[in-house]
Structure 1
Amino acid sequence: MTAPGESKRGPVVQDWVLAMVVAVIQLGGGRNANLRQTGVHTIDALGYVLLLVGPVALLLRRSYPLPVLLVTIASCAVYLLRGYGYGPIFVSLVIAFISAAIVGSRWWTYPLAPIGYFALVWPLPTLVGHPANPWLAFGMIAWLGVLVAIAEGIRQRQAVLVARRQRAEAARRDEEAQRERRASEERLAIARELHDVLAHSLSLINVQSSVALELFDKRPEQAESALAAIKTASRDALAEVHTLLHSIRSGGSTPGTEEAPESGAERTPESANGRRDSERAQDNSAGRNAGVAEARPSAPRSPAPSIEDLDTLLQRARAAGLTVDTRVIGTAHKLPSVVDVAAARIIQESLTNVARHAPGAPAAVTVRYAADSVEITIDNARATAPQSKSGPSGGNGILGMRERAHALGGQLIAGPRPSGGFRVVARLPSQEEAK
């Protein structure tokens, strides 16, 4: 890697080398050209100084391109008006003109070409007694045209290079922004998945532990059932967390994700959820340290939640003492995996909220199939038992359910019922092109 000091020294060295080469050409070539011409003034000390003015001025051509060009024009004018004759003194003028045309404004630089021609070639030298050769005057016009064309070509090429660099930088920034957005979506998907895996089980554990504490002395048989439900829920939660961590570490796709809606759309957080839920049904065991693998049995794997089998989906909630009725309207049909998983998660989260905020209240789950959508309704009546004080009431459950529905192109409405209780209604598209 080049140090900043070295990158700055490079152009300075180039300018010094260029100035010395031009000085040698102008001093040696100017002297030889002057000796071969007749009727010209012999080069004296002033002539040599004028030959050196241009090369010295070129040292500042990057910082002050237009002043350097004016200085070289002035030195050439004085040189020719003194009668020294034509020679390579124009080399520094050509370099100064190209530098000014490339770095500075063309509207200040290009007009100096005809002005310099009038002052140095024709007609001003003729008016002061130094007539120019007609062929020389004509040839200088052609050379000035070529010089302007060269300067404009270099300028356009630099403009193209700058535009290309800007496009590359914009593409790099856009790629970085997309990378950050994908990382943010992935973090959101992981956070939602952890919430889905843990919130349902922990809420049931919380409710059942409160029941067990209240009934431990009065009704030990019911307390035993509550403790058994806690054991089952905690075991299943550990297995699901185990599987989720393995899915996050592996980061690979699993069979079944082909059902996710793609059609050129970007991968949504729901896609990540669908893949991870599918991995629960496919993977065997992972995420354990090698040292304790033999001492601990493999954690059971929970299948991906699905609304095709509502009894299995609601088994844990019912085992925790929640009364849930189910109803299916319409002809059930196969749903895309991400839609099926999202619907199951919405049902689980809604029942978790019932168990947390209205323990003892019966719930009803209705699944209505349509040609291009599926509608899930979760109702709970007013609680028939006193509200439990088992935990905080705040959470992100409804927000997470709404995000799931919106990510798939659906909608979710949640709020109190006029007759009491609470209702959650989610409508999700059931077509492959759904987003």
Structure 2
Amino acid sequence: LVEVIRSRRERWAAARREAGLARDREAARERVAIARDLHDVIGHSLSLINVQAGVALHLLDEQPDHARPALQTIKSVSHDALEEVRVVLDTLRDPGSATRSPAPTLLDVPALVEQTEQGPVAWTLAVTGSRGAVTSAVDTAAYRVVMEAMTNVRRHSSATRARIEIAYDEGGVGVRVTDNGRPEARRPDDPGAAIGLGLVGMRERVAALGGRLDAGPRPTGFTVEARFPRSTDQTTSEAP
């Protein structure tokens, strides 16, 4: 009887330890996911604000009317970034207390391109295939890859032109961002560089959903390309 009681206590203690380790692992995953979201949102917003502020300052004296759209973009982008950061911080302070706004999807990419109209990089967007049903996890991750790739173009290259391609097919969803910047200005393998951290986050997002990400220099620029499976165990979102 004593041996049975001892054995049961050991099993209960082991189960408690394993449950504690599982909670720690889940908390670590949540912290990484939050850090990745903050990196993407803040990096994108601040780089865009910096570009638009430069445009506004350039136009303010000679063409003040043309500076207004840049200032409006700064106001809109900073408001959205502050709201998203507030939600994340509220969630950290009191999990479950904050109500998240709908997660961004690939349908929001045109708005990203519109925000950059007055910047130094001329962006084009091409969408091919039938969207159909896309899991919400894939939709948001693909959007974040595009957003981070756009941020890296603005911050780490001398590009004057860039192109975003979104491709839907039966097997999955693909996104591709290319630019004509100087390849030597990009150091994706340098773990201390901001672009390196951005690529790490993109790879983590894509790998978590069973996809693949390729990024590197081309003879005439830089390419970031991600491929996601169309179907996962997550909920799906469809084009309106």
1:239 and 1:198 mapped to 2: Cα distance?
Answer: 11
1:280 and 1:314 mapped to 2: Cα distance?
Answer: 21
Residue 402 of structure 1: aligned partner: 203
The DSSP-based 3-state class of the residue aligned with 1:331 is coil
In our comparison, the structure showing a higher alpha carbon Rg is 1
Larger relative contact order, structure 1 or 2 (CA cutoff 8 Å, min sep 6): 2
Q: Note the C-alpha offset of 1:365.
A: 1.0
CA deviation digits over 1:364-422, x for unaligned, max 9?
Answer: 11112221311111111136xxxxxxxx96252111111000111111111111x2211
The DSSP-based 3-state class of the residue aligned with 1:168 is helix
Distance change (3 Å), C-alpha of 1:322 and 1:393? farther
Q: What amino acid does structure 2 have at the position aligned with 1:178?
A: A
CA deviation digits over 1:209-260, x for unaligned, max 9?
Answer: 3444556556655555544432332222222223333455563499xxxxxx
Distance change (3 Å), C-alpha of 1:245 and 1:211? same
Normalized per residue, the structure richer in strand is 2
Q: Note the C-alpha offset of 1:208.
A: 2.8
Residue 381 of structure 1: aligned partner: 180
Structure 2 matches for 1:26-45, cutoff 5 A?
none
CA deviation digits over 1:334-393, x for unaligned, max 9?
Answer: 21111100011111111011111225521111112221311111111136xxxxxxxx96
1:228 and 1:312 mapped to 2: Cα distance?
Answer: 14
RMSD of Structure 2 on Structure 1 (CA): 3.0
1:360 and 1:280 mapped to 2: Cα distance?
Answer: 33
The DSSP-based 3-state class of the residue aligned with 2:101 is helix
Matched, 1:305 2:126: no
Distance change (3 Å), C-alpha of 1:422 and 1:338? same
Counterpart selection for 1:349 from 131, 148, 153: 148
- 2:171·2:229 contact (CA, 8 Å) conserved in 1? yes
Matched, 1:174 2:5: no
Residue 222 of structure 2: aligned partner: 422
1:315 and 1:182 mapped to 2: Cα distance?
Answer: 37
Structure 1 gap segments, 5+ residues each: 1-156, 255-275, 282-303, 384-391
Structure 2 matches for 1:137-286, cutoff 5 A?
157-213=1-57, 225-249=69-93, 251-252=95-96, 279-281=100-102
Structure 2 matches for 1:11-50, cutoff 5 A?
none
Distance change (3 Å), C-alpha of 1:187 and 1:320? same
Distance change (3 Å), C-alpha of 1:222 and 1:360? farther
- 2:159·2:180 contact (CA, 8 Å) conserved in 1? no
Q: What amino acid does structure 1 have at the position aligned with 2:204?
A: E
Matched, 1:413 2:214: yes
- 2:216·2:224 contact (CA, 8 Å) conserved in 1? yes
Q: What amino acid does structure 2 have at the position aligned with 1:168?
A: W
Residue 31 of structure 1: aligned partner: none
The DSSP-based 3-state class of the residue aligned with 2:126 is strand
- 1:207·1:356 contact (CA, 8 Å) conserved in 2? no
- 1:357·1:393 contact (CA, 8 Å) conserved in 2? no
Residue 237 of structure 2: aligned partner: none
2:18 and 2:79 mapped to 1: Cα distance?
Answer: 45
User: What TM-score do the two structures reach when normalised by structure 1?
Assistant: 0.47
* Percentage of pairs with the same residue: 42
- 2:161·2:180 contact (CA, 8 Å) conserved in 1? yes
